[in-house]
Each structure stands twice: as C-alpha cells, then as structure tokens.
Structure 1
Amino acid sequence: MTQWKRAMVAVTLAAALAAMTACAATPAAEESVSQTAPASSAVQSESGAGTEEESTSAAQGGETETTNIGSFTTQTLDGETVDETIFSGHTLTVVNVWATFCGWCVDEMPILSALNEEYAEKGVQVVGVVNDTITADGEEDPEQVALAKDIVAQGNANYTQLKLSDDLIQLGFASLPAVPATFFFDGDGNMVGQGFLGAKNEEQWRETFDTYLKMAEEQMGESAA
C-alpha cells in the first residue's frame, strides 16, 4: 500500500468521528440520515471544542516520512487543464473535497473563500474538488458540472474548483466515506499533517489554517535543509 493510500485509509477510519458535521458519500445515503441531522449552525458551534486538540495532535504527532500526492492531471469546472504543479509557489494548499448535494460543504464555501483571500499573502491557497460530477460509468455528467458551477457562483467561492479525473479517482477522491473532506499540501505536493472529514465554522477554520501553515513552513524548511 502506498503512503498516499495509507493517508486516505486514515481519513476513512476517522469517518465516524465526523458524522455530525459531514454528509454521506452519496445522495441516497445522505437522504437516509438527514432526518436525524441537526442544523449546521448548531453542530458547527458544538464541534468547536475538539478543533484545537485535533490541530495540536496533527502538529505534534505527524509522520516524519512525507507523503507525496504524485503526478495527476484534471480540469477545472471551466475546462482548464491542471496538474500537480498547482501546488508550486504556495506554502500551503488546502484541498477541500465537496459534493453538490452536501449542505455542509456549501455552507462553508463563503468561509473558505474569505480565508483564501486573507491568507493569500501568506502563501496559502484553497482548491476545491467536486467529487460528484461523474456518472456511475465514470463519464462526466454535464448537468452535474452545471449544477456545481451554479453552487460555486452562489457561494461566491473565489478559489479554483477541480473536477474528478481518472487520476483523481485512482487517488481515492471519488471513494471518500463522507464529505467535506480536507487535505493539506506543501509547495512540493507533500501532504501536511493529516486530512480530516467534516465541516468547520470560521473560527475553527482560521485556527486550522494557522496550524497547518506553520506545519507546512516547518516541513518545507526541513526539506530544503
């Protein structure tokens, strides 16, 4: 099993812990649990207690061996080709995987958009990956792409949005147990800390950005030494 696959498995094992702030992997599964899910604003405020502990744990207990995402090619929602060089020139890239049916995902888009602007001068960028723009046969669904574009526009999400490609599917982005899921990478495409499932409020996200930015700076410094 590759290092990246092990990292994805770790996120899968954490799925139960994020159940209160994440959507099931498919619309059908999400509908089956939606009747018992509380309002997003209430859950986000209640989930804040574990954020500092989670971030501190990631900062102190991360693996010393780096995990690189490797080579990949995909496209933005607007059809622009993107590859692994998207990480270059940025100290930290926050990759937020979302789906069109996930209210949690949509709710945090304005927060991520604002932080994307605020932290740009610190070398941070946010990149979205919408993981339900393909059919069960692996073909692109034009209606889903159009829906994703509408959601992005309505949420004023000013950051790059990627569609799934064969490469991203092979990397596991289509088989996550829940969304939103977030991963962090340094300028070389190495994973920073551990990814996690579930949404956050603005205070939690700001704390997360600060923590992972520091980790990325230290990681890049070590690799340059």
Structure 2
Amino acid sequence: MRDPEISALIASKLREFHDLDMSGPKTVHLWDRLRNWLKVSQSLCSAEEAKEFHFDVLAEEINSLEKSLAGADQKIGFCHNDLQYGNAMIDEETRQITIIDYEYASFNPIAYDVANHFCEMAADYHSDTPHILDYSKYPDLEERKRFVHIYMKSSGEDPTEGQMKDFLEMIEKYALTSHLIWGFWGVISEHVNDIDFDYVEYARQRFEQYWLRKPILLGSN
C-alpha cells in the first residue's frame, strides 16, 4: 500500500468511495460504535485486562475526543472503516482498484477513514506474527501529503496548502479513534473468535499507541 503508484490509485478510489450517495441518514457512526464496543469489551474482559487497558477512564476519553474533534468543519462521507491491504484488490492489467468487504462501512468523517488506512500500513497479517504491528511503517509526512494531495485533486479540487495542512492534522487526530476502536475489537474478538491470532496482544499495541500519540496530537497527558 505504500508503493507510490498503488497508494495513488487507492487515494483516488477512496475519494470515489467517500462521494457515494448512499441512501439513509448521513449520520456519523464513529462515536456510537466506540461507546458500544467499550461496553461489550468491559462485559467480556477479565478484571486484569480492564485494569491494564484503563477501561475505567476510556468512556471519558471518548467523550473528550468527540468534543475535541466534533467542533471542526469536516466532511462526512460513506466510509469503508477497514481499508487494510486485504480489502483493496488490484487488476494487474488495468491497474483498477476495487475495494471489498463492507461489513464495517458507515457514514463517518472522511478523515477517520484515511487515518484508519494509514494505521493499517503498520500491519502484516501474512507474517509468522500477524498480530505484531510495526509503526515504523506508518507513512511519513511526505507520504501522507502525497496521498492527501492525490485524494483531494481526484475529484477536481485544487487544494491550497492550508486546506491540505488542516486535513492532514485532522487525519492524525482521528488516528487516535482508530487505535481505540481496533483495541476494543481485539478484546472482543479474543472472547468470541477461535481464529489462531493473538487478539489481546494486538489490542495491547493499539491501546499503547493511543496513549503514546495522544499527548503529541492533543497536547494533554
């Protein structure tokens, strides 16, 4: 996904996806999903897991994030919400991208969907340790700029430096919500799935990234 050519194709296709005029209310699902998955995680996990993952404070963290992010002028679109490499297929001859698997799709801030896509670049689900994430593979600023520029221009926009800067900053902040959502997913999956995957360790890494990145992005402890 980090290959410049393929990344450009994904950026254009993701913009096309976000612009789909789907039926139904265009209501953001992100915050309800976070709160619901926190409650399910709390009902399933052990006391030790709840303590380790700071579940006692995460409801307030979600409230704080929503308050911090909801005030900005941001576009809401139909989002995939799980754009990892297994869900982006490419035709080797035509170089056309097809996005598949829509079980998590819903309306959300488009910055969240891009942030989630960037976070997935840390994963290699076909390695001997598919649960281990390597955040040195998270796209650097130049890669993120290139993706966002292609994303914005693909629909005919000519974004200013200020517009790109604002979008990039919002994407980084929404990465925090991605870490929480997939942390909860890991905890829940550990208790409901029989797949050979270390879901708890995966969750641990996502929560660690949340606490590591939060003071950098939001300026709070």
- TM-score under structure 1 length normalisation: 0.26
Greater relative contact order (CA < 8 Å, ≥ 6 in sequence): 1
Between Structure 1 and Structure 2, the one with more helix by share is: 2
Between Structure 1 and Structure 2, the one with more strand by share is: 1
Q: Which structure has the larger Rg over C-alpha atoms?
A: 2
